[in-house]
Amino acid sequence: MRIINLDNQYSIVCNTKNTRNGFKHVGTLHSNGFSVSSTKICYLNRTWERFTYESIAVKMISEHFEGAEKEKYLDVISKEN
């Protein structure tokens, strides 16, 4: 499990789960400690991300935010390691 803090209000909680054919990353967006949204990405092989859970974090931000707020949070993810 990994928690990616976007700011004081939003964070993304990421987990890995096994599937029949591989594995999946599951991300849950939290606002002030409450679950707001969740998404998943299924994989058959290893991924080539800069850091674990990068793809799920980018997907979550892209689905939930728009405009300047989206760009701000994507910038936070680009600085994550």
**CA-CA distance, 14 to 23, in Å (whole number)?**
13
Cα separation, 39 vs 28, in Å, equals 7
pLDDT on residue 59:
96
In the chain, the percentage of residues whose pLDDT exceeds 70 is 98
Phi-psi region of 53 (alpha: psi -120 to 50; beta: other; left: phi over 0): left
What is the per-residue pLDDT for 81? 67
Bridge partners (DSSP) of residue 41 are 25
pTM assigned to the model: 0.89
pLDDT of residue 29: 97
Ranges of residues in the chain with a pLDDT under 50 are none
